[in-house]
A and B are shown apart, each in its own frame.
Chain A
């Protein structure tokens, strides 16, 4: 018990004794984080060097490879940021800030971008980073042969060329104001020209010493790391802990210092464990129910509206996310995005309106929702609750339980009404381009509106912030009124940390991927 009291005292606050709710305060913060690491208040003594940090991450597999083109899940993304850096980093307000690039500038029509590189940055093999290395690294993800996860994002680039020793020029296929965001993607890590991507040599804070796919990665500090205020610990051991229970018990016993993806259901129990802190970060990730807008009966907007009005979002946030999230408004733009439409009314739970639209749709009989927990944590429970909500509007929802195995290949984008999950994208443009544009590869609602596509392309090329805002607001309204996505909630990211660890920077997208260079021990 005395130990308990001490923890509370040190964290200063009895109401939330073991939780660091970092996101909201950071988002309300006024100043930019151009000097990462120096911004967050730290204890008087400041960060200390040293110690071996142990991370327990999920999303690992025996088939993982160090080649950044293959990264799809958290484990390798975290390892990637141990050995490498991107040209651009995102700050706590999801704005692009310089990383290996020092500055950048777009032509007036946003079709040509010039990036100036940081000078004097060396790779782990001692070679200095120059423009040729950047061109080589970016091209790794492009071209017809590429199987890179970043291929789609980078299609906007027509040509990338070195226009000086420390200057890279990008010519774009179509104008885009968001190129810096694209270059912050975790795939686009910079390696020396001609080097082997499966044994990457980076500029990052740690040098990979041993890598056992799906088991363990050990990395030692790069003594020549260029970034100020980053890379504190002597070594980082990243353990593959895909199993939630194993991850949680490893944190409780102190076998690891930091874990990702806690289960909202058990967070309150974990908070009570001695020596453990829970970190809660609002994110752009959202859970959705998707209707195929090209397939009866979902091709009727009255039916879509009936299903949108007939869901009790508050209850889902409460019971499925246990409060670790926010309600959604049937479009994918998170409330912290600068282009979030603030004037769009929040859709509530209104069984009468649902009943009205259902009647107008002319549809009769039950609606089938195909779901599995593979869609998102608690998806089946969420569907059962949804069925009860709709019952009050006189709509019968039949919950068809599908196997987790093969859900993404056999059910998602195959059946007309399914559950889905999006991790969120750093910008409105990327989010809309990947899932809402008519020809988007994952246009999961098969919602095709040429007017929407036109606005999207117009907004992408627009450098004037106010004009862009108007365009994105209009697009959110279109999706809200007519789209095939029911978006009841945005989830928070939940991390667990030992209480002698500090330094976490809560970036709301791609959250926690750069922890290895941020965290330090407070008790050395």
Chain B
């Protein structure tokens, strides 16, 4: 008797076929992006709302792997208003980081590709669609308009260069103001002082290993702010830090955001940090947005069962519970997504129509949107409330 094949098993032949067809798709996309001298008109666009800094519109980012296509980001739409902080929450693997990497165009190429949708970036006098820009133009965007604070300050700094030299590299690369060498040196010290490093002159001569975790994260922030970007993507900037240092860094980010008047896209899985930092919150699950709204909407009136579960599963200081709620089951396989609501198998509040197609987004208040059948008109509450 033939041995039973485990779930998700691929024969070598099948895998070869997939990788061949993947290559066909990615080659076409890559070729398009690698063209030189693309006229600006091709990626010029207009913002739907001029008060927004970034608008993600139906973004689809897929990874073409040998095991199949992973739809990491599958139709994400949200906007980041100028001068505001948008928090993106979700479990690991839900597509938070891929969304931000799509904006930075730092996806793992050629497997990772934006296949559909627009990312409109407001440059002040004009707007670009980042999803259509050729690679050669992106360098002008990164750093100057979009910059990123990475998750691990320990690994994001180069261990063999001094702090000052690493900052200098950023400033020289994006030297739009034609600064002289002395001016750049002065700017390095100014940046380090801005992020609250006391001994700026000394620190600029140090190597990353000589600094503590909090100090390294400050350097990372200084680097991200070096060219006064319009939007800062903070990808779990405090996850690797202690609470006391986390408090320092959060204070600093808030203060600096107001100082240079830019927007922050704050990615984290810590709901406490989001509550403190964000004006708007986006909750993601398995590559899609399940709920979005203002921080008050999300924290005081969570609507989607996933958001409710997420809130209940986090222990809160000063709130005694006997047993923590835990969301049953696990995230569906990203290669083989079901055609009904992705959360249905883990949901305890299912209603009749949940067996149908993935629910469309529905507004339950002016700012609050949710993708769940429970809020459709005419649907009777079927599940019990916890």
Are chains A and B native binding partners rather than an unrelated pairing?
A: no
Chain B residues within CB distance 8 Å of chain A: none
Chain A residues within CB distance 8 Å of chain B: none
